[in-house]
Chain A
């Protein structure tokens, strides 16, 4: 199946010589939710801006819905909706006019029924005749999404969509994204809230210093790179890790009442059994034990702080 977004050997060098993107290769499939993660300045917004036509690429090839974004820019752009990071709005316009403007701009005939549906879905219907300047920050964020959805795009870019919005609105947006996926809309999401990616994404891409360092199915990623931790609460305080356990990845807590054993998610559980057996053999009793899996956030932090190769 042809990917909805195809990026080949994409490079971007700004006028001052700064290389924002280095030979990016990426494919995103129809109807998937792809989360692009990376620290500030990693190149996420540059990449989105190039795909959407806001920034020129230095070299490479990008296709959206099968259309080359340069040679066939009209058809490519018709398929794309963009919710940018910044709340850039025409303060003096009404909500209805602003959303209708976006639809017209993308070459679609007026369709009041669709605009009404979008505004209702985003809880903006009651505000349709209000000037944008009177809306709250959260409402403006919804408006940006309404504008992006006004022309019924099949690909939607959400660049930090929930930055600065309250928990309730964030949950509403997640719900909306799920509904869009049911309609086979491809969603590319950048976010600083890793829990957002963990909650919604099918696949995760990590970009660091202009390079894609990883693209992986979320579940596989968490299982492959995730760590598990076993914490044993001891009956009696230990001064140091017993010699029999020195070869195991075991640490002692500062208060000496907890042994912490860390292992890969994929690793067989034999290590745990061996550890518990050894503890029994050397007479160390424990009163409780608990395990914890590392979050996507911890995996992400681990990845972006790894030293770059070369």
Chain B
């Protein structure tokens, strides 16, 4: 195990986050705070409870998950795309590091950043909305698991992308709509039956449902299914990365 190699990549990526604090942390925190102000405090106070939870508190897990997914993908995809773009990837490819170590460095740093951001958003939410966490251990575990899974997904996007536009396409065109339609602002039980069935094909439903269960003990789908689906997606991302390094797809000609 090239421990120093993993540490070098990890520290390099974390230092990039410190350099871009405004963009990496402040910007998503402010965006999420606006949601809390508008939907939590302003409109939320006029909305009815869902599953006996005040609307402002009900949307917190979904909004944290929205930022977590977007930032995990963005951090990891930029992390690996930038060396490809600038040409410095030659150094990683010629170094005595295995692909597992490369992934540990890049994805580890991206997931760390996302978890830190998720915790900051949670702390900030306290300023606007009152909420409780019923299962803190599971809440944190879900946070980490989701951050790692979507950082792996972001890593794949970063390797696949051959331009900045492609880096943005998947988060903006796919992940954001799936998150909005995945129960961030409502329970899928509130939808007509046909849309409930269709919603079950949205993987983000399972993430938000599981995360909300950790907060309030209520969920759209069973917690076991939520964890299982997240692990399934994690496994699919790991398989994708294994294939990328095995074939050298867009890395080694």
**A residues at B contact (CB < 8 Å):** 14-15, 52-56, 73-78, 80, 82, 84, 86, 88-93, 97, 100-110, 147
Contacts and interface: CB of A to CB of B under 8 A. Distances in A.
B15 interface: yes
Contact of A54 (B4, B5, B97, B252): B252
10 contacts: A54-B90, A56-B252, A82-B91, A102-B8, A104-B4, A105-B4, A105-B9, A105-B91, A107-B4, A107-B95
Nearest to B7: A104
B142 to A, nearest CB: 32
B5 to A, nearest CB: 5
Interface string B98-118: 100000000000000000000
A80 B88 contact: no
Contacts of A75: 96
Given A105-B97, A107-B96, A14 B253 contact: yes
A78 B95 CA distance: 7
A85 to B, nearest CB: 10
A67 B18 CA distance: 39
Nearest to B82: A90
Given A54-B252, A104-B7, A105-B8, A86 B87 contact: yes
Given A53-B93, A102-B91, A89 B86 contact: yes
B195 interface: no
Nearest to A75: B96
Contacts of B97: 105, 107
A91 B19 CA distance: 12
A74 to B, nearest CB: 4
B192 interface: no
Contacts of B86: 88-91
Given A54-B90, A55-B252, A102-B91, 17 more contacts: A14-B253, A52-B93, A54-B94, A55-B253, A74-B2, A77-B94, A77-B96, A78-B96, A84-B87, A93-B12, A101-B11, A104-B8, A105-B8, A105-B92, A107-B96, A109-B4, A110-B4
SS of B interface (majority): helix
Interface string B225-253: 00000000000000000000000100011
A106 B16 CA distance: 20
Nearest to B9: A105
A88 B85 CA distance: 10
B87 A106 contact: no
A107 B15 contact: no
B85 to A, nearest CB: 10
Given A104-B8, A107-B5, A52 B15 contact: no
A35 B128 CA distance: 68
Contacts of B12: 93, 97, 101
A59 to B, nearest CB: 15
Interface string B1-38: 01111011101100110010000000000000000000
Contacts of B94: 52-54, 77, 80, 82
B253 A56 contact: yes
Nearest to A14: B253
Contacts of A105: 4-5, 8-9, 91-92, 95, 97
A110 B92 CA distance: 18
Given A54-B252, A75-B96, A89 B88 contact: yes
